[in-house]
Amino acid sequence: MDEIPSHRACASCRTQKVRCIPDESNPDVCQRCVRSGRPCVFTPLQKRKQRKRTDTRVAELEKEMRAMRSMLKQKEDGTRSSSSETTTSRHPAGLWFKDRNLEGSRLGTAGQPGNDEAENADATATSVVSDQNDVSTPDRFANSGPYLWPKRFPDGPKQDTKDVVDSGMLSMATARQLFETYKNELYPHYPLVYIAPSVTADDLRYTKPALFLAIIAAASGKENADLSAALDKEVLQSYATRSLVQSQKSLELVQALLISAVW
C-alpha cells in the first residue's frame, strides 16, 4: 500500500484498542508491529449499514415498553394470589414461623392449627433457633433470606477461579514459553515491570494471576496472532471484572495495565 490514512489502524492495534502509529522507516507498518515482530495487516474499510430512523426506533421502544409493563402486571397479579394462599397455609415454614405465626397457632381458632400442632411447631421452631445460639444475629439472618449472601460469601460471589490454562485455551507449557519470551525479548525494550529471575511462570500464575495473564497476552502477539486475539479478550474481561465489578485496587493490577498499554 502506498499510504496509510490517518484514521486507519492495523488489525492488531484495533484488537488491542491502542493508537496505531506508522513506522518512520517503513510507513506501511506500525511501530508496535515492528517492535513485536508480527505482521502488520490493514483490513479494508467496511461499508456502514444505514441506521434506522429515529422515529422508527422510538416506536419500537414504546412497543417493547408496553409489552414489558403488561408482563410485569401479570406477574404482580400472580404474586398477590400466591401470597394470599401462602398466608392461609396450615403449615408455614422457615425461621420466621415462631415470630409471626406461632402466636396465632396457639389460639387454636378456626382455620389455624390446633393445640397439638401448635406445640409440635413450637418445639420445632425452638430447636431451630437453639441450634443457632452460637451464631451472631447478622450471620443467622444472612442464611434466612434468598436475597442475602450466605456466610461463606460475605462480599458476594467471587470471580471464577479458572484461568486460561484451566479452561484449556493454552497449555501450561505454552504459558511458560510465553513467559520466557516476555522476559527475554519484550522486557528489554520497555523495562517497566521487573520480574525477578527466580520467579517462574507457575509462581506468578498463583500469586499474581492478573499480571500473569497480561504478560502471556503481550508475548503471544509475537508467537501466534489467533492466540493473541483470544488472550486480549480475556485480559479486557479480567480488567472489567476486577476494576468495575470487584473494585480491586492493587499494585498488581497497575502493573498488568502498564504491560497491556505498552504491548
Question: What pLDDT was estimated at residue 102?
Answer: 45
Mean pLDDT value across residues 85-113: 47
Residue with cell 436475597: 147
**C-alpha cell read off for 138:** 447478622
> What percentage of the chain has pLDDT greater than the value 70?
65
User: Distance between CA 118 and CA 197 in Å, rounded?
Assistant: 72
Instruction: Tell me which of 102 and 195 has the higher pLDDT.
Output: 195
Highest mean pLDDT among 105-109, 136-140, 246-250 belongs to 246-250
Instruction: Tell me which of 172 and 114 has the higher pLDDT.
Output: 172
Question: What pLDDT was estimated at residue 154?
Answer: 40
Question: Lowest-pLDDT range, 22-26, 104-108, 202-206, 208-212?
Answer: 104-108
Q: Is the pLDDT of residue 107 over 60?
A: no
State pTM to two decimals.
Answer: 0.40
Question: What pLDDT was estimated at residue 151?
Answer: 42
In whole angstroms, what separates CA 99 from the centre of its chain?
39
Q: Which of 208, 207, 204 is nearest to 175 (CA)?
A: 204
Is residue 35 within 8 Å of residue 13, measured between CB atoms?
no
166-185 confidence digits (pLDDT tens): 888 888 888 899 998 898 88
Instruction: Tally helices (H) and strands (E) across the chain.
Output: 12, 0
Is residue 186 within 8 Å of residue 222, measured between CB atoms?
yes
Residue 210 burial (CB count, 10 A): 23
Mean pLDDT value across residues 89-108: 46
Question: Lowest-pLDDT range, 13-17, 126-130, 208-212, 247-251?
Answer: 126-130
Instruction: Tell me which of 181 and 136 has the higher pLDDT.
Output: 181
Q: Is the pLDDT of residue 85 over 70?
A: no
User: What are the distances in angstroms from CA 12 to CA 16, 37, 93, 117, 262?
Assistant: 6, 12, 59, 72, 13
Confidence of residue 198 (pLDDT cuts 50, 70, 90): confident
First to last CA, the chain: 25
Q: Which residues of 189-201 are buried (b: 16+ CB within 10 A; e: fewer)?
A: eeeebebeeeeeb
Mean pLDDT score of the chain, rounded to an integer? Answer: 73
Instruction: Tell me which of 33 and 98 has the higher pLDDT.
Output: 33
11-45 confidence digits (pLDDT tens): 888 888 998 888 888 888 898 888 888 888 888 87
Confidence of residue 158 (pLDDT cuts 50, 70, 90): very low
Instruction: Tell me which of 153 and 163 has the higher pLDDT.
Output: 163
Question: What pLDDT was estimated at residue 84?
Answer: 65
User: Distance between CA 119 and CA 102 in Å, rounded?
Assistant: 9
> What percentage of the chain has pLDDT greater than the value 90?
1
Confidence of residue 93 (pLDDT cuts 50, 70, 90): very low
Q: Is the pLDDT of residue 88 over 80?
A: no
